[in-house]
Amino acid sequence: MSLTLYFHPLSSFCHKALIALYENATPFEPHIVDLMDPAATAAFKTIWPIGKFPVLRDEARDALVPESSIIIEYLDQHYPGATRFLPGDPDFMRQTRFRDRFYDLHVMQPMQKIVTDTFRAPGQSDAFGVEDARQRLDVALGIIDRAMTKDTWAMGDAFTMADCAAAPALFYADKLSPLAGNYKNAARYLQRLKERPSFARVLREAEPYFATFPIR
């Protein structure tokens, strides 16, 4: 098999890459990296010393592709399928990239900050950083809620890279605090994302691992 994905089933950024692979039924070898296992972590860092996943390895093209958005662009370029992740003209592509960045930087990152703070040892938590992240997350969710009044997907009718980013970002944001309370349009969008077969499969496969997730 040419493609190997290094990932973990609970990782939101890995969900992005998995959605893209499942959208087009792209064959790949799944390689789960358990960061609780020092040997597995050390082995992963020989491949990508930064130590963050997802990372895609393409034997056929001798390419190592870290970074979820870059993986999706790589798949779109070298393993295209029915779902095009960056379709349309350059302006549409730039908007798609912007929305992908928006979900990563303004939803995933604050959400990651809030969740990872719960892993910290007693006395080591960062109350200021968590409060800042909560406020940033609220602003971002408000923007998304206003944007999703009529569109089906982040870019309108087409399912794109922006939706790959939105799905895990909104899924975990909803776990922190149910979106249906203040962000009904975002909640409905999340529901559509959960029903999308690619993301439904990601969630089904993550199910056995959710018991270890700190927030229900």
* Residue of 165, 171, 117 whose CA lies nearest to 16: 165
Stretch (H or E) spanning 37 = none
Residue 209 DSSP class: G
Query: Which region among 47-55, 123-131, 174-182, 183-191 touches ligand GSH (by CB under 6 A)?
Result: 47-55
**Of 111 and 193, which has the nearer Cβ to ligand GSH?**
111
Lookup result for tokens 């959400």: 111
Choice between 108 and 141, CB closer to ligand GSH: 108
Rounded to the nearest whole angstrom, what is the least distance from the CB of residue 63 to ligand GSH in the complex? Answer: 16
If the CB atoms of residues 11 and 198 are measured against ligand GSH, the closer one turns out to be 11
- For the CB of residue 188, give the shortest distance to ligand GSH in the complex, in Å: 25
- Determine contact, residues 7/65, Cβ cutoff 8 Å: no
- Residue from 67, 76, 145, 174 in contact with ligand GSH (CB under 6 A): 67
Query: Is the CB of 69 or the CB of 198 nearer to ligand GSH?
Result: 69
Q: Are 105 and 162 in contact (CB under 8 A)?
A: no
Shortest gap between Cβ of 69 and ligand GSH (angstroms)?
6
6, 22, 53, 183: which one contacts ligand GSH (CB under 6 A)?
53
In degrees and rounded to multiples of 5, residue 45 shows phi and psi of: -70, -15
Distances in whole angstroms, Cα of residue 28 to Cα of each of 6, 25, 56: 10, 9, 9
In the complex with ligand GSH, which residue's Cβ is closer, 51 or 178?
51
Helix axes 197-206, 161-176, angle to 10 degrees: 40
Site string for ligand GSH, 86-125 (x = CB under 6 A): ------------------x---------------------
- Angle (nearest 5°) at CA 118 between 198 and 145: 50
